[in-house]
Every structure is written in structure tokens, then in C-alpha cells.
Amino acid sequence: MSSLHPELSSTLLDYCPARLVGDAWGVTEVEPADYAETLDALKRRVHDARFKVQRRANAELVALYWHIGDTVLKRLQVSAWGSGVVIRLAEDLQAEFPTMRGFSRSNLFSMRAFAAAWPERNGIFQQPVGQLPWTHIVQLLEKLDDQPLREWYAGKDVQHTWSRAVLIQQIDTRLHDRDSAAPSNFAAALTRSDSELAQQLTKDPYTMGFLDVGADLTEREFEERLTRRIVETLRELGSGFAFIGRQHHIEGDGDDFYIDLLFFHVEQLRYVVFELKTREFDPRDAGQLGFYVALVDDRLRLPDRHAPTVGILLAAEKNETVVRYCVAGTSHPMAVSRYELTAAEQAALPTEDTLTRLAAEVADTATER
């Protein structure tokens, strides 16, 4: 083989939007104009094939583990099988298949629990649990006793493609109690269908232990940590949130206004205003949040493309009665929620008695002076 003649190469390049490529033998060829597009298409096909193979392999593994668990379960029910026999079965399976992981004693008992929790094998793969990795299924079995809750978390896991660590965190922080739970006026301020969607954006409380902050943080420090740890923040807020900015500036007839945190929800196509208060909720906070919601609705929202803007206020504490009256008294759609620090940080907060005693000591000192 020989390289192309220089004049021929020049002529070809004049008429073909391609480039010259060389191989290991120094042979020069004209790269086809559609090469990059073809390569991208083939790479996507390979990725899709690998994903399908992985899903098929996972489904086969889950089916195998269910069958083993169902066999053990039935033997325990009708035969003289005890835990000792199950331990021996685990050892024999490990000896027969030394390169396969998963035949430990604890895993066999997890298989038995799996078959007991989902007794219909054919129905498993019609449910979210059939799409989960085995390690996720084990967490559902070990951390939850309530079957509807297991199925609820399995559905969320599949929907949001959680990692195992995130699944554990969501269960430990009782997401099912917090999801869509913040008190709001969405039902009155929005249409029925839109209010139900907007309510899904809320949690109460939000768990902010990942921020690694003390109980005495300022609002600016709170904002800074939330934006610095934006991946964890978005995970806690829920799927669909896109971060627009911190202290987002909007000018209003010569006055400058700064929104603590502004997000856009790409699934519901709406702006979401977050205001942060590192103290207890005050009725005046509702007025400030309502103003920002109206401002974003007027200056940023495209009425023919975007759903109405909503606001969510995060406070360290809140009086439910006060919140209920405040949100009912405004036409701007908003919710009020609470954020939680880690258990250690909560424990570090001074008690009411301690604060009262310190206040008395300060007062006594001032009197003596």
C-alpha cells in the first residue's frame, strides 16, 4: 500500500470536509466526514448493550437468590431443617462454587427473607424490587419490617437510581415521613393538579447533617455550605432541581434584591425560591418570601412555558400554628419547612433551662455593675 499523492490529497480535501489520518505503517488515508458521528453511534450502542447485559445478569442473580431463598423457606416449614442445616448448605454451596460470592450464611438467610417478603416469583420482575441490585434488596430487608414501606423505597430507588449509600441514608432519615410534608398554601394558591405537583417538591424536615456545621452558623455560612456541597444539597432537595445561584440578584425599579438560593425544577418547569433562616420562623418571613416569589414570577418566569414560581422557607424551628396562619394569609404559593442537623449537633444545642440560667447570670452581672 502507498500513501495518496499530495496533489490528489489536496484535491480531495477541497471537496470533502474530512481530515487525513495515519496508521501504524505510515499509510495516510482520508477520514470520512461521517466518521465521528458513526463512532459516537457505535459507542452508544456498546453502552446500551453493556447496560442491558448488566440488567439481565442482575435479574438472573435476583431470580437465583429468590429460588434459593424460597427453597430454604419451604424446607424450614415442612422439614426438620434448622439454622444448622442452613449453615451447612451455605458451606456446601461455597465449596461447590468457590469463585461465586453470595453463598454466605447471612446471605442465605437474606434470601429466605426475600422469598418471604415477595412470595410470588413471577411478580417480582413486574415490581421495582426486581430491578434493584441484590445489595439494595438486602438493605430493604434489614432496615424495614413494613412491606409497603419496602416497596415504597424500592420504587424511589429505581426512580432516582440511588446508590446503596444514598438508599441507606434515605431510610435512616425516614424519607417516607418527610417527603411532600411541608405545610403550604399550594392548594389555595395554585390549581389542584399544579398544587399536587408543587407539594411533591417539599420535605419536612430537610436533613442537613452532610453540611458538617455547628448549631451557631449564620445564614450566609448556611448558604455557603449548601452551595459548596451542592451535589448533596440537590440530592436532599430531590430529583429535578437545577441550581441557578446563591444570593441571586434581581433589580426592581432601581432597588437591588438578593434571593438566598434560586433553583429551577426541570421536570415541573418552574422556579423554586429558597429562603434560609437559622432561627425560628417569624411571620414576617412569609412576607419576604412572598415578595421574592412575586419578583421571580414577574422578572424571570415565562408564563407560556413555565409553571408558577413557588417558595420554600427553611428555618431552624417553626411553630406549626403560626406557620399555618401565615401561609393561609398570603396568595403567593409557599411552604415552610424545618432543617435538621446531625444528632451530635442537635445534642450540642443548649437546653431552654441552660439559656434561662445564662440569661439570669448576665442580668445579675449587669445589675452588679
Amino acid at 328: A
CA distance 369 to 366: 5
Is the pLDDT at 352 greater than 90? The verdict is: no
Least confident of 72-81, 159-168, 282-291, 329-338: 72-81
Read off the pLDDT of each residue in 137-149 and give the average, rounded to a whole number.
96
pTM assigned to the model: 0.73
Q: How many alpha carbons lie under 13 Å from residue 191 in its C-beta half-sphere?
A: 4
Quick one: cell of 116? 418471604
For all residues of the chain together, what is the average pLDDT?
Answer: 84
For residue 131, what pLDDT is reported?
92
Beta bridge partners of 271: 264
Q: Give the end-to-end CA distance of the chain in Å, rounded to a whole number.
A: 102
- The domain segmentation of the chain, as residue ranges, is 6-33, 38-175, 178-352
Least confident of 29-38, 84-93, 288-297, 304-313: 29-38
* Residue recorded with cell 451447612: 88
For residue 225, what pLDDT is reported?
84
Q: What are phi and psi of 16, to 5 degrees?
A: -130, 120
CATH topology classification for 178-352: Trna Endonuclease; Chain: A, domain 1 (3.40.1350)
* Residue recorded with cell 411532600: 180
Read off the pLDDT of each residue in 163-188 and give the average, rounded to a whole number.
93
- Whether residue 246 contacts residue 223, with contact meaning beta carbons closer than 8 Å, is answered with yes
Strand ranges of the sheet holding 310-317, from the earlier edge strand across to the other edge: 206-207, 334-340, 310-317, 270-280, 255-265, 241-252
CA distance 169 to 146: 17
For residue 104, what pLDDT is reported?
92
Q: Using N-to-C axis directions, what is the helix angle for 219-228 and 230-237, rounded to 10°?
A: 90
Maximal C-alpha separation, the chain: 103
| Per-residue pLDDT tens over the stretch 275-308 | 999 899 999 999 999 999 999 999 999 999 999 9
| Per-residue pLDDT tens over the stretch 194-210 | 999 999 999 999 988 87
